[in-house]
Amino acid sequence: MGGRGRSRRTQRKHFRDGRENVWKNNDNKSEPQQQNKESSNWQPFVAENAAFNEYYKEQGIVRPEEWDAFMECLRNPLPSAFRINSSSQFSMDLKSQLQDEFTKSLQIAGEAEGIKSLPWYPDNFAWQSSFSRMQLRKNKSLERFHEFLKQENEIGNITRQEAVSMVPPLFLDVHRDHFVIDLCAAPGSKTFQLLEMIHQASEVGSLPSGMVVANDVDVQRCNLLIHQTKRMCTANLVVTNHEAQHFPSCHMKKNHENVSELGMTQLLFDRVLCDVPCSGDGTLRKAPDIWRKWSVGMANGVHCLQLQIAMRGLALLRSGGRMVYSTCSMNPVENEAVVSEILRRCGGSVELVDVSTELPQLIRRPGLKSWKVRDKGVWLASHKDACKHGRSGIVPSMFPSGQAHLDTSDDTNENPGAEINEDGNSNNNGDVDVLVPQVSSLPLERCMRFVPHDQNTGAFFVAVFHKISQLPVLQTKSNKHSRERDSDSDEKVKQGEDKDVNETDVSNADAGVLVKQGEDKDVNEEAIPVKESDEELLDCNPSKKLRVESPNKPKSRAEKANDKRKLQIQGKWFGVDPVVFFKDDAILTGIKEFYGIKESFPFNHHLITRNSDTNHVKRIYYISESVKNVVELNFLAGEQLKITSIGLKMFERQTSREGVSTACVFRISSEGLPLLLPHMTKQIACASPADFKHLLQYKSIKFPDLVDDGFREKVSTLSLGCCVVVLNKDNEGSSDPPVVDRSTIAIGCWKGRSSLSVMVTAIDCQEMLERLLVRFETKSGSSDINCEEAANVDDAQVKEVSETVTTSDDVEVNKE
């Protein structure tokens, strides 16, 4: 409630600041006329901020001679970019269409370049246009290209994503067998990219042995994440809702009887992506309102949270694994300062990887070795300066050396006349007169900075870590100063890809990794590094101490909250549907017999539902072997994971009147069809190009109106209910069941008593029809799919069967 309350206050504050010129009523009758006159002369955001200029000039993120080009690029709108889904069935068709059609047509429209592939992205699957999103929406000559982007993005064939946002997953070096976690995943573009890598070169009807866990702290953003990733149609994904800095490890005792079956006692990952929440000033080109809101406090306020998330990511990483830390910020306090503190805490157990030879066409700049901290108009070169000036919110890890300064009484009285000016100089009569910035001895040049004017992108920061061995345990005595500073900190910050954090919303959080309340100290096989202030926080936390209470004494609000926390750790996540293995043998046997599912397909123990009552199950989801092991581990560990979405929707109960009377009430979903089809032997019919086109066009066709006699005969032998129609390529005969490969095109249908109806959404039908037209016309000048038999289908006889076409959102996530 506290976080939401702060958000509302902030919104009200912003509303007050901008309301008087628009909303305030005035008795002066001439005022509305004046307002209309002003509104007609509306001006865009002023792309200027004096504090921004002063700060980054002093930090030296670009050379002085580049400053004008740097600022000019920041003031221009960001060109739109997108990525082709490499695992899509039509990926090569889309690439050809972009190269052959849109590249030429957009040049004719008046743009010298139009669109181009990004040379540094593998296999030319990433593209960038010379138009901003606003231009795409407003320019009539770009309307067809804009509609193409919207349609393909909604289906999942492409993902609209900022160019530099595609960089972090590329440096993770993800393989098919890797366990990967995206700790701050919403809205999901990078998670989608990771799933593409997991599924790369997968055989038809098979699943990779790896998996992806996508986590986000905000429930609403989790819904957005689910909507984005469901376009991938994968059984290797789990979406969770946790604070990234407290992500549970699902630890199970080593002597548990099920350890030998699972092969693991703790959830660890081969790859970790920490795209942490940040101030977001690297997104100025697409979010110009940041010019008005920017301040140094935005970065100072999230530094400690970023460090917590990164340290938690390393604790979840296997030895030998790789972690990528990234932000969409240019501020060294959020970038190099966090990386430096990670290396100091982890010692030799973690190293910063030099990836300068990877992706050679990607222009990047080395990380900074020296920087200063600014707070409330004052430049600080070290933590000692912060203590002298009373900046208790500035922590040692923000500085290059990371050395803490103890503010003792002797230090305070040593130079009572010392005072730091806003220009950073000292106004004392002592020996130190010049503010000298510290220089880090760590290999920070291995970090990567991406600046806008290098390749016409946004700004980004990326650092790649390699975990050599288990992390050390750091336990030192804390002091009174750190206790007083850290006990008042607040670490609850909304984690989002926009990284647009207000100074008023964020206070400095503790820079360490806190143990989650209610967990035992042996939650991790690997100890989590704890800073001196963390130990004090744990000692001062009332919920961590044992107490003897009288049975009649009422519990305080804090004690009730702690009890609720313990219940949640045991798996009772209120407002979220449970994850239940589907074990109804009668229903499973009926499904296998109806569709002729082969015994070789791993079917049993791979189906789950979100409803423990099998009589009212609406959807059945399929999970891969790796996800199944994680679910079982989560059960044995007390359901520590709060799972909001899991697996691939494979079957859905047919609730129409005709569906209830069939032998199998569960139909195959469009998402699950590509995985299940190679393992089916029944309820399959091969259609000619003409009939396939008619089904996509008219959605429902009566049996006498089918063009191909063989197809009509085959459909008549199928049982009533769900069936699969496969496009017969090149008009050649096919085996029964047909041989399925990567080029096979199929749709789910419903066979009624007198007609065949398509169970695919309208936009999917439209997109598939367009793809087929292009594909057949490419093979031959006049395609069979454009034959005139379509005229024989009487439109009056075509019945739209909306009750059998599911277009609603299939995501089952309850709001907390």
Q: Which residues are catalytic?
A: 328
Neighbours of 234 (CB within 10 A): 25
Neighbours of 373 (CB within 10 A): 27
Residue 448's DSSP bridge partners are 366, 462
Taking the CA atoms of the chain, what radius of gyration do you get in angstroms? Answer: 30
Is residue 424 within 8 Å of 379, Cβ to Cβ?
yes
- Which of 699, 687, 694 is closest to 733 using CA atoms? 687
The 10 Å CB-count burial string (b at 16+, else e) for 396-412 is bbbbbbbebbebeeeee
What CA–CA distances, in Å, run from 673 to 204, 205, 579, 809?
A: 11, 10, 22, 17
What CA–CA distances, in Å, run from 591 to 291, 588, 653, 805?
A: 58, 5, 11, 20
- Which of 692, 724, 684 is closest to 708 using CA atoms? 692
SS (H, E, C) 55-93: HHHHHCCCCHHHHHHHHHHHHCCCEEEEEECCCCCCHHH
Is residue 577 within 8 Å of 612, Cβ to Cβ?
no
21 is written with which tokens?
């010129």
DSSP 642: -
What whole-number distance in Å separates Cα of residue 377 and Cα of residue 56? Answer: 14
User: Cα-Cα-Cα-Cα dihedral of 793, 770, 201, 685, to 10°?
Assistant: 0
Phi, psi of 727 (to 5 degrees): -70, 125
What pairing do the DSSP bridges indicate for beta strands 648-653 and 666-668? antiparallel
Is residue 290 within 8 Å of 284, Cβ to Cβ?
yes
| Termini Cα distance of the chain | 12
DSSP notation for 489-547: --------TT----TTT--PPPSS-PPPTT--TTS-SSPPP--HHHHHHHHH-GGGS--
373 is written with which tokens?
């901290």
Is residue 420 within 8 Å of 388, Cβ to Cβ?
yes
- Beta strand residue intervals within 163-223, DSSP E: 179-182, 211-215
The residue count for the chain: 816
Q: Give 451's contacts (C-beta < 8 A, 6+ positions apart).
A: 61, 62, 70, 330, 365, 459
What whole-number distance in Å separates Cα of residue 682 and Cα of residue 718? Answer: 8
Neighbours of 291 (CB within 10 A): 17
What whole-number distance in Å separates Cα of residue 712 and Cα of residue 39? Answer: 64
Strand, coil or helix: 1: coil
What whole-number distance in Å separates Cα of residue 67 and Cα of residue 82? Answer: 29
